[in-house]
A and B are shown apart, each in its own frame.
Chain A
Amino acid sequence: MPGKKIFISGDEAVAEAVRMARPHVISAYPITPQTVTVERISDFVEDGSLKSEYLHVESEHSAMSAAIGAAAVGARTFTATSSQGLLYMAETLPYASGARFPIVMMNANRTVATPWALLSDHRDSLSQLDSGWMQVYCEDAQEAFDMILQAYRIAEDPRVMSPVMVNLDGFILTHTYEMVDLPDQEEVDAFLPPYRTENRMDLEEPRTVCYASLDEYMEFHMKQEFDMRKARAVIAEVDRDFGIRFGRQYGGLLEKYRCEDADAVIFTLGSVTGTVRSVIDSMRGNGYRVGLVKMRFVRPFPEDEVVDIAEKVKAIGVLDRDLSIGYEGIVFSNVSSSVLRACSAPAMVNYIGGLGGRNISKDNIQEMFLELLRAADGEKGKRVRFVNVGSEYDG
């Protein structure tokens, strides 16, 4: 298939990438909720352009369990989910990562009930941060396409051998259309060779996987942690190689935008990044020294990069589209713990916004930057602020 540029949704971009990654087994449950990604993939299986076994499973728990079974014989696998569905499969996430199966899953970020709300935030995926999965967040459909291919390379790297969750903001990315550059299949095959592993059951040399280990349980997880740390370098390496081959590079674990000489930066995940970029451009035009840190991977966490940023800026705002009720935003907690390692102590403010799809406007972002710049000058304010809510709620 020769390369081409086509106008497709984020969902379809993921489906196209999955077709080019040639997984052996797709397992998918169509609801709770799901996206058209799995419908497009089933079209590809039907028309023969993707030679995969497609399993129609009865739940997300079974979707991941079937992927685990397929991975256990050495198959490349794909599944996709969202929101309640991700929570329903939660038991199986550490199961897959503990067994060191490099499963790739798309998650359409949507909020979790109750109250029910269909729109996007990151409460679903961030609740699974400790599951042993790598988590990457995409800004647009092109990045989603590219990250599916990169996710397989990273996950299947023998130094890493851990699953990856590729996150796209529900509706904002999954259901909107963009021009997406699809590479040539041969180029993809050269970038992503077939998956080969010893971590599988084998008819010639029978083996046990997913077993019990009492005495070495800690060591198993220490190894998992050490390999996840190695994944930081692998992610950067894969990003560079992808850039050389396809001309698009994302910065690895995180991307800094106009951070040089910035006094205040905002950390973002996902699609809101584009809005923050444009606010920065216009504020920079008016002389404000503001920048953006687009968190791409939250696991593995870009610890050193965050420390480095913290040592250069005077104020950090973290825009969380989630909330760990009883404390603060989950990304803020993570960023704060790395900032503590820095030699300087920038002012830190947590902005909780966009829950259940609540809009985060350019004005909201500009207000955040102005507040952060005041904090950079030493003004004391609240640690956690709620964005775009009635002032009576931001008590």
Chain B
Amino acid sequence: MADRLITSAKELSNSEYFYGHRACAGCGGSLALRLAMKVLGPRIFVAIPANCMSATSFLHPQVAFSVNCMISPFPATGAVLSGIEAGARALGLKDYHVVGFAGDGGTADIGIQALSGAIDRGDRVIYVCYDNEAYMNTGIQKSGLTPYGSKTTTTPAGKNFPGATGRKKDMFEIVAAHGIEYAATASIGYPEDYLRKVSKAALCQSTSYIHVLAPCSTGWGFPVEETVEIAREAVDCGLWYLAEYENDEFVLNKMPKEFTPLEDYLLKQARFRHLKERDMEHIVHGRDKKWEKILKNWK
């Protein structure tokens, strides 16, 4: 049971609660789960909808979790978490956490209704969205969190389209707009920031939400040993940001003095390698507009 803030990896338990899964080498999502569960400890109920983590970890009898866990219906992570919490409360269980790990599509597309309902009810559950920016489990299809210019199997890049043309939904702010007790963004490239946020979520008395960027070597097209580096660079180049929402305020946790070159980040990844000058400009423009808003409105 996490009952204090954790700010360093040294404070983590040596116990592993997510072990022996079949995810790809260099999987960012599995790191997000493993670290969060180390913070939350063994007395947890985990719900995971259809995603890479359930596909690679739940195959009876070789389940990769040593804690209580279940697969939720794809659209229903938020509702299943609420049900677990209500059941545990009604049965008088003590000292436990209820946590869900859904991907970007499972959160921002098909699962957004159930997530919104859970926050609305204020059930004491932790919802972690691990964002690898497409439906990776099923073969890299575009989700509502796929960024502009990203090549996926449903947004091919060609003469007419530069890959995905939409704008990545601001899930963090959508969640915050519910007036949630605690929401945060994180990146597995900044693990200590992520751990602190998970431990903070665990201290909440109602719903909390963490949106952690978790690069996918297979879907993004970079060498498997560079996952953490890429996750760091996403923050450093300004395309992702580390922030929190609590007490009705947005707080920026990390203000890069200057952004690292965007092109370096993008061109390392096969999904962006086709981008043309004007696409890059479009992305820079989007980034700068976002930061203008962040700097103006957030603490």
Contact = CB atoms under 8 A, between A and B. Distances in A.
Interface in B38-82: 42-43, 45, 47, 54-55, 58-60, 63, 65-73, 75-76, 78-82
A74 B91 contact: yes
Interface stretch (A202-210, A231-239, A252-260): A202-210
Nearest to B55: A212
A195 B55 CA distance: 32
Interface stretch (A2-10, A55-63, A163-171, A374-382): A55-63
Contact of B83 (A56, A72, A95): A72
Given A73-B88, A201-B70, A203-B68, A55 B60 contact: no
B114 interface: yes
Contacts of B75: 61, 65, 91
A40 B87 CA distance: 21
A206 B64 CA distance: 12
B60 A208 contact: yes
A75 interface: yes
Contacts of A202: 68
Contacts of A61: 73, 75-76, 79, 114
Most chain B CB atoms below 10 A, which of A27, A62, A67, A77: A62
Given A75-B90, A212-B54, A58 B70 contact: no
Contacts of B58: 208, 211-212
B70 A208 contact: yes
B89 A53 contact: yes
A66 interface: yes
A168 to B, nearest CB: 24
Interface string A68-102: 11111111010000000000000110010000000
A57 B45 CA distance: 20
Contacts of B60: 208, 211-213, 216
A91 B73 contact: yes
A307 interface: no
Given A69-B82, A208-B63, A59 B113 contact: yes
Nearest to A74: B91
Nearest to A63: B79
B141 interface: no
B84 A70 contact: yes
Most chain B CB atoms below 10 A, which of A61, A91, A92, A203: A203
B76 A92 contact: yes
A25 interface: yes
Contact of B71 (A56, A58, A91, A211): A211
A138 B121 CA distance: 34
Interface string A134-173: 0000000000000000000000000000000000000000
B93 interface: yes
A30 B183 CA distance: 29
Contacts of A67: 83
A218 interface: no
A69 B84 CA distance: 4
Contacts of B68: 201-203, 206-208
Contact of B43 (A57, A58, A73, A203): A203
B90 A24 contact: yes
B78 A62 contact: yes
B270 to A, nearest CB: 30
Contacts of A63: 79
Given A92-B76, A212-B58, A62 B113 contact: yes
Contact of B70 (A27, A72, A213): A72
B78 A53 contact: no
A214 interface: yes
A211 B59 contact: yes
B78 to A, nearest CB: 7
Given A65-B73, A211-B70, A75 B82 contact: no
Contact of A73 (B65, B84, B121): B84
B84 A55 contact: no
Given A69-B81, A73-B93, A206 B71 contact: no
A75 B117 contact: no
A52 interface: yes
B120 interface: yes
B153 interface: no
A216 B60 CA distance: 9
A62 B79 contact: yes
Nearest to A216: B60
B86 interface: yes
A381 to B, nearest CB: 46
Contacts of A213: 59-60
A216 B88 CA distance: 30
A178 B73 CA distance: 39
B47 to A, nearest CB: 7
A201 B42 CA distance: 13
Interface in A38-63: 52-53, 55-59, 61-63
A89 to B, nearest CB: 10
B79 A201 contact: no
B42 to A, nearest CB: 7
Contact of B67 (A27, A72, A206, A211): A206
A56 B71 CA distance: 22
A65 B111 CA distance: 12
A73 B87 contact: yes
A52 B91 CA distance: 10
Nearest to A72: B70
B59 A58 contact: no
A197 to B, nearest CB: 11
B119 to A, nearest CB: 10
Contacts of A91: 73, 75
A211 to B, nearest CB: 5
Contacts of B116: 58
Nearest to B92: A24
Interface in A191-232: 201-203, 206-214, 216
B90 A52 contact: yes
Given A59-B117, A61-B75, 9 more contacts: A56-B120, A65-B73, A66-B80, A66-B86, A72-B45, A73-B84, A75-B87, A203-B96, A211-B71
Interface of A: 24-25, 27, 52-53, 55-59, 61-63, 65-75, 77, 91-92, 95, 201-203, 206-214, 216
5 contacts: A59-B113, A61-B114, A69-B79, A206-B66, A208-B63
